[in-house]
Structure 1
Amino acid sequence: MSDVITYDPLKVNLVIKGVAITGFADGTMIEIEKNEDAIMPYVGTQGEVSIAENADKTGTIKVTLQQTSPSVQYLNTLAKQKGDDAAFPISVINMNTNGVSASGTKARVKKMATETIDKEIKEREFEIFVADLDLI
């Protein structure tokens, strides 16, 4: 008999600059992706293979919130910041069995969320660039 593994979205937390982000939209809450592959294979004319290790540590964390989330204004404010002091730490903590967590010390919100006004609650998506993304 195999074990049953349970996933609980309440065991996933996003912390940006010490603030817990809340009010996620229905569906994909957080998406984490490295910007480039870890290796760059090279195949010569006669089939010899070499592999270069990619030193690019950058990545992107996409966050989808409800427009009513109190975190929308917080992330929009971070998107407006400029200069050397604008970078912030970010952590995705996944306490589920086999959950992947991520962190970085130099993150920036790429731009403010698109503002859509409708009769229903809509979503706000933020892309966060992470200069030193570490997947754990």
Structure 2
Amino acid sequence: MPGHPALTRILRQHIADEQLQPGDLLFQGEFGGILAGSVIRRAWRSARKAVLPPHVFESPTGRRVYDDRNTRLTQWLNDSIPPAQVAEWAGSSVAVLLATYARCIDGQLPDLKRRLEVAGDLPEAEAEASGAG
């Protein structure tokens, strides 16, 4: 999934410094294996606590590492990024993406109505309800 450019630079530098090859672990556990879930959770919690205001830290927002992915995908859909592009970035199909996130899309209706009005395609009942008829 695309990341912030500053984070991407840090990760690329880490990969270069460690001379990692495809299939190598980006971050290794104490004995060279996969990091334990408890280590990842502690690091995630510490990072959230360090950068978030207390009310956001205590909220469910980003509580789990995977929540960040959900938040990002939802934000992209709400920002009108085409679902096909979001699905590609997420490594998912459009069908799975929309089945999972369609109920999270919010705030686009006024813009969609405006675009339909401009195109002259707003259904008459919708035009009347929006004051355009």
On whether the aligned pair clears a TM of 0.5, the verdict is no
With structure 1 as the length reference, what TM-score do the two structures score?
0.20
- Give the greater-gyration-radius structure (CA): 2
With structure 2 as the length reference, what TM-score do the two structures score?
0.21
Give 1 or 2: higher strand fraction.
Answer: 1
Give 1 or 2: higher helix fraction.
Answer: 2
